[in-house]
Structure 1
Amino acid sequence: QEIKGISDQKVDKLHQAAHKMVQMGFSTATEIHQQRQDICTLTTGSSELDGLLKGGIETGSITEIFGEFRTGKTQLCHTLCVTCQLPLEQGGAEGKAMYVDTEGTFRPERLI
């Protein structure tokens, strides 16, 4: 299929560049099963929300949080920064967190 405005050579170059960036291949069920064994589920601090999320938020994935102003999105992110450091038996992942504040609105007193 031809894409208007893009030559076949350009398409081939884009395809090759994408192939180098994203390593596509085959995985066995055993390999995927092992990868799934390494996933932890973080508690959100709310048993109701954890229930809706089937146990909490999985590590190794991207979770988008969105909603109206003042609905708890930032507080949930703050909570996850703390809970990810908890021991496994307390719903954490014994990990570390990095909080990236793109709007310059971080207030440490919200964590206390």
Structure 2
Amino acid sequence: MKTDKENFFDLVYQVVRLIPKGRVSSYGAIANYLGAKSGARTVGYAMNAAHTLDDVPAHRVVNSKGLLTGKAHFSPPEKMQRTLEAEGVIIKNDQVVNFQTVFWDPSKELEW
């Protein structure tokens, strides 16, 4: 039987799988979409646990300012930036350039 945390992680993964290539979302936007407004940190925990899952594009989740705060959980840490850049996202000083342009908000993009 799964715990509530595992169920929440699964919901996070379902949303993250929908982020299109070349776009990014934030921990807070995903938490808000899932009805957990103060759950950004828990979304971060889910992303940290997702690095063993090949079908969850954790590299597309950044903080609310577009910073690659999760890069330390990639091996090597530069992999997060390289993967985003390969999808057309421009990164400078560990931050997404034109963040608002490439930002994908599940609350606006998905019907619940």
TM over 0.5: no
Bigger proportion of residues as helix: 2
Normalised TM-score (structure 2): 0.25
TM norm structure 1: 0.25
**Over alpha carbons, which structure has the higher Rg?**
1
Higher relative contact order structure (alpha carbons within 8 Å, sequence separation ≥ 6): 2
